Structure 1
Amino acid sequence: MTLVLASRAEGVATLSLNRPDRGNALGPELVEALEEAFDRAVGHGARLVVLRGEGRHFCTGFDLTDLEALSDGDLLLRAVRIEQLLQRIHAAPVTTLAVATGRTFGAGADLFAACDRRVATPGASFAFPGPAFGLVFGTARLAAMVGRDRAREILLAGREVTAEAAAMAGLATAVLGEEAIPAEIARAAAAAARLDPETVAALHRRTGPAAGRAEEDADLAALVRSAARPGLRQRILDYRAQVAARRRG
């Protein structure tokens, strides 16, 4: 299976996560494929990179289908690799646009938040469940986007956020039906073509969390410290059991 479907037209590269049977959850192979496809798109001169998901959902977070076979160290490495990918996308010398459909959860919500333009379709929902099992993930990016107090509210409560609420908070830049998305991509492409890649990269550096690399390094360090706490795998198992119990009840 091709894990990332890629197409390009007139300076716009569209990359679609292609594991709909797993909700496009981010397993190691998909992370590597997305990183390679993204770098290829940038290297071939794309000025706008659009991220989408095949099937119902944009991305439902970590792929934990093999959780029982993983060690805490395996999980830590997976988290670090995803954060490195998100930082790469966030600081890239191109404009990025993500389209969220269905569930956009966990690392998927962080992938959405790493992009410049963030379109949510009606019925999309967002959640950041990582804190429920002790992961501190992408917090500086989220806080820079929606503000400290709103970021704390979203992360501490752990509730699902609707597309409309995401737009009000600043997590989404627009809520659009599928029929309006091509026009939005065309507008983003026209704006992206105005600036050269060096300028885009410089703007991303200066408008990122705390306008610098130090905050990204601090985010990565916070993630590693949180993931390195003993018992990560068991905390995730406990969290999944709690979610399953709530759904049954």
Structure 2
Amino acid sequence: MTDYQTITLEQSGPVARITLNRPEAANGMNGTMTRELADAAARCDTPATKVVVLTGAGRFFCAGGDLKDFASAPSRGQHVKGVADDLHRAISSFARMDAVVITVVNGTAAGAGFSLAVSGDLVLAAESASFTMAYTKVGLSPDGSASYYLPRLIGIVKTKQLMLTNRVLSADEASRWGLVTEVVADDELAARADALAGQMAATAAGSNGGVKALLLDTFSNGLEQQMELEGRLIAQRAESADGREGVDAFLAKRKPEFSPGG
């Protein structure tokens, strides 16, 4: 386990587990947490890691930015910009790594916690979890990739509703809106996360990374540009060790054995 003050990082084979670990502060994000999260994300961006499981300790996933931390800074704006920059570095690493990122929303996800939760490749939510933007309640504006991901996930109209009215979504509502992959009973959440992580750990990391790269660019590319990217990536996969193993295993009617590095 890597020695951090506000998070924990545990590696078990190809699965890394990051836990936001300030339960006494509802896992609120301060400067230390976002710096550590960015560092942990960078550590996970390696062929040795095929799955990242991200969750919170205690009753909250993350209640967003730590307002006490913000208020105590000599220059609030400068401090908040630094906190946001580090959070954004973490989210960028999560988005661009080959590893599948599973966010496990064990409780309330508010503000930047909401943003972080729905940036996962797969999002598991406990039945008791809830989601709210909450930024404008305190005179702030969204960060943590919310203005990028939410319009793409649910459209501009619903995004404005969440950001302007601070509507609170239950886990079931978030699932119906397309923000959550799966809703799980509270007492089954950890086991389901482990099972899903194990399932993803058996897949080809490079293929998963290709899926992520294609989908990350799809809204900014034209049709021909996107298809060219598809063609180049599938050609790379066909030449890779895992691509060869996957095709050969299919033809031999056996289960493929993909390498740790994808």
TM-score (norm 2): 0.73
How is 1:117-156 mapped onto 2 (pairs within 5 angstroms)?
Answer: 117-132=122-137, 133-137=139-143, 138-156=146-164
Are 1:54 and 2:53 matched, yes or no?
no
Tell me the number of residue pairs that the alignment of Structure 1 and Structure 2 aligns. Answer: 212
Higher mean alpha-carbon deviation, 143-152 vs 87-96, is at: 143-152
Higher mean alpha-carbon deviation, 79-88 vs 95-104, is at: 79-88
Q: Deviation string for 1:136-173 (max 9, x for gaps)?
A: 43212111122332222222221211111111111111
Rg: which structure is higher?
A: 2
Query: Percent identity among equivalent residues?
Result: 24
The Cα of 1:64 is off from its aligned counterpart by 1.8
Over 3 Å counting, the alpha-carbon distance change for 1:44 and 1:209 in structure 2 is: closer
2:259 counterpart residue number: none
Distance 1:126 1:145 in 2: 14
1:185 counterpart residue number: 194
Higher mean alpha-carbon deviation, 106-115 vs 124-133, is at: 124-133
Distance 1:96 1:124 in 2: 19
The Cα of 1:188 is off from its aligned counterpart by 4.2
Distance 2:213 2:50 in 1: 17
The Cα of 1:180 is off from its aligned counterpart by 4.8
Q: 1:168 aligns with which of 176, 181, 192?
A: 176
Distance 1:100 1:187 in 2: 14
Question: What stretches of structure 1 of length at least 5 have no aligned partner?
Answer: 214-249
Report the aligned-residue RMSD: 2.2
Over 3 Å counting, the alpha-carbon distance change for 1:131 and 1:95 in structure 2 is: same
Question: What stretches of structure 2 of length at least 5 have no aligned partner?
Answer: 222-262
Distance 2:220 2:89 in 1: 15
Distance 2:71 2:196 in 1: 45
The Cα of 1:212 is off from its aligned counterpart by 5.0
Distance 1:107 1:18 in 2: 15
The Cα of 1:121 is off from its aligned counterpart by 0.5
Higher mean alpha-carbon deviation, 188-197 vs 100-109, is at: 188-197
Higher mean alpha-carbon deviation, 24-33 vs 84-93, is at: 84-93
Higher mean alpha-carbon deviation, 166-175 vs 179-188, is at: 179-188
Are 1:77 and 2:82 matched, yes or no?
yes
How is 1:105-116 mapped onto 2 (pairs within 5 angstroms)?
Answer: 105-116=110-121
Distance 1:209 1:140 in 2: 12
Are 1:194 and 2:203 matched, yes or no?
yes
Higher mean alpha-carbon deviation, 75-84 vs 202-211, is at: 202-211
Distance 1:42 1:88 in 2: 7
